[in-house]
Amino acid sequence: MSEKPGVQTDDVYFVIQRESLHKRIEAMSAQSMVSKFPGMYSLCEKVHFTRAMNFATSMMPGGLEGLGFWPITWILPDEMDEVRIVMSRICMNYVDGGNKGNPPIWIVKPEAGCQGDGIFLVDGFQRLEDKMRTRLAKGSWVCQEYVKDPLLIDGLKFDLRIYASLISLDPVKVYICKEGLARFCTEKYTPPDPKKGFGNETAHLTNYSINKMSEKFNHASDNAFNDDNNASKRPISTLLRQLKRKSNTNAIVPFEEEKFWDDIEECVAATVTAMLPVLRVSYSRYFDVSSADVEEQPCQAFHLLGVDIMLRNDYSPVLIEVNNSPSLNLTQTLPVGGHHMPDIANKGRRKVGEKRQEGPPPRGHPCNCAEFGTTHIHEISVVDEHCKTIALGGTLELLPRFTPEARQAALDEIRHRRREEHAKGEQSLVQKWFFEVGDCDQEDVRDVLRMVEVMYNRCGGARKAFTAGMLRREFSKVPGLMKKAKFTKSDLDIIAAKYRDIGKSQAKETLAEEGMMQDLAVLDWGVMIGQVCKKRFGKDGSLLAQMQKVLGRLVNPQKKKKKAPPKATAAATEAGADGGGDGAADAAGAAAAAATEE
């Protein structure tokens, strides 16, 4: 993948570790692409992702409580006071209602946790407060409503790994792959008891890393694509057929695949919308372009995201998290059992005089790595190979070609492939498995977020955008914003004081993280603008409309029109006529002076 001097290339660079991203972008030509968007790693961390989603969804129809796919989520300890109010109200309503139905439960996750580590449940604020006393020193946490009515198949809980390919930021181009993974628990689901924790983790947490250790984990076999597949990891296409079959015997809630993908599209569209401000700020910084140039120049990054979804028992989706770097590993681990022993014994035996092998053993040979608790083997998983090859291969098909030669070569290749596919009755990966995500009524929200990003950069980023002087100067350009008894400069100073420490880096950042806290601060700047709007306009219109009004004036301030000199009065005209030309000049001078004073 070397680049010859003087030759324009369309190289695609795959970056696995974020530490390599900065160096790769610096060395790239203008005709190359890299497989990660700067800023995505930090943005997908639980706390930052919650900040982005809460800010964006607050402007969407219905607000934070109107989007069924995004459960109400708080950041701890920052929002403990709000959590206390909401939890107390919900618990009181449950008691007043006679304790009917499932009791309210919330799930709490550590910011840096993964694979189910550190997660716990609570049934009220008192229990949350007790548990957080010993955990706050470990960093921030997120708390959200627990999905109490998950869809079950054969009594097992599961989630979906949906692959989404982000190809461009401006214009936004994102595609959903209709093939992915359904990952099942290995124990029957029972409603959790917060007093006892989860109980059996393998009944509530769908993480592959946890369930693969269970003796009940069913590995995929040759029947992975049959409707009677009961493996613990299945293709989504197989799962959807199973849901149709299940709904045929359950007339109460029929399953409609078209509606399912419509709901997934809406969820992905809103998620990408929430990410845009940070991604654009980071992209501009890494690629050294202005906000305007992001739209004018071809996008030089793309990203394959893993969107984790859980389904309620009415088939509606719930967004769990977005994975910045979904696993593309095609292997699965199988414990060495009796049916493997004869073959394993032969493979594992060294001949006399043979040197001990360095590194991991060949695939299919016995292994004692940390991926599994006992001796095991690694082999290709037919499900992983099928799903991940489609997701990555289709993403590569979607990438643009920059140079005329590359575009023509790609066009010739497509024409040739389509002729062959037509003759064989086949389709490309994109044609068969992918569809482009529409704006899903996100256009107005995306316009507001774009204005937030533009003004944040124009005001000097995190180091200057939150200063009282900068805010006073900028907001004074909005006609009618400052109004006595409604909103004053003192109110603006009070709001700005909450953000005075943003931009002052508290911890030393690595090269991979350098500047990210300042990029993420664009979310705080947007939230601050929202607080200004709420203080000034109250309930007069939606937050989206208020933000459109204020930011529209900030981005495109109206120049003050100079008032025309007042017409000379009759008395002045008469004085001029009686006193000659000097009187007329005096009248004109007086009018000019009056205009200047005004």
Q: What is the pLDDT of residues 299-317, one digit of tens each?
A: 999 999 999 999 999 999 9
φ, ψ of residue 247 to 5 degrees: the values are: -70, -25
Residues 242-293: pLDDT tens digits?
999 887 666 567 899 999 999 999 999 999 999 999 999 999 999 999 887 8
- Are 555 and 454 within 8 A, CB to CB? yes
The predicted structure's pLDDT at residue 343: 43
Q: Of 201-215, 525-539, 561-575, give the range with the top mean pLDDT.
A: 525-539
Banded model confidence at residue 10, pLDDT cuts 50, 70, 90: confident
Q: Are 437 and 174 contacting, i.e. CB atoms less than 8 angstroms apart? A: yes
- The DSSP letter of residue 145 is E
| Sheet with strand 120-122: strands edge to edge | 73-76, 141-145, 106-110, 120-122
Lowest mean pLDDT among 157-166, 351-360, 530-539: 351-360
Residue 506 CA, chain-centre distance (Å), reads 25
Say if residue 171 is preceded by a cis peptide, omega within 30 of 0.
Answer: yes
DSSP 367-388: B--TTSSSSEEEEE-HHHHHHH
Q: Give residue-wise pLDDT tens across range 69-113.
A: 999 999 999 999 999 999 999 999 888 877 677 788 999 999 877
pLDDT of 62 over the 90 cut = no
3-state SS assignment for residue 419: helix
In DSSP notation, 170-236 reads TTEEEEEES--EEEE-SS------GGGTTSSHHHH---HHHHTTSTT-----TTTTSTT---SEEEH
Q: Are 201 and 210 in contact (CB under 8 A)?
A: yes
Residue given tokens 């100067």 in the structure block: 473
Integer angstrom CA distances of residue 119 from 69, 129, 325, 349: 21, 15, 21, 43
Centroid of chain to Cα 21: 19
pTM over 0.95: no
pLDDT at 20: 83
Cα 2 to the center of its chain, rounded Å = 33
Q: How far are the Cα atoms of 64, 156, 182, 314, 315 from residue 255, in angstroms, in the given order?
A: 27, 18, 17, 8, 7
Res 361: pLDDT: 66
Judge whether 481 and 487 are in contact, CB under 8 Å: yes
Contacts of 164 (CB under 8 A, 6+ apart): 174, 175, 176, 177, 268, 272, 304, 305, 307, 437
**What is the amino acid identity at position 571?**
A
pLDDT in tens, 210-230: 898 888 999 887 788 888 889
Indicate if the pLDDT at residue 370 is higher than 70: yes
Cis peptide before 366 (omega within 30 of 0): no
> What is the dihedral sign for C-alpha 534, 538, 543, 549?
negative
Distance between CA 67 and CA 499 in Å, rounded? 28
In this predicted structure, what is the pLDDT of residue 342?
40
CA atoms in the 13 A half-sphere facing the CB of 408: 3
Residue 173 predicted with pLDDT over 70: yes
Residues 367-371, mean pLDDT to the nearest whole number: 81
* Mean pLDDT (the chain, rounded): 82
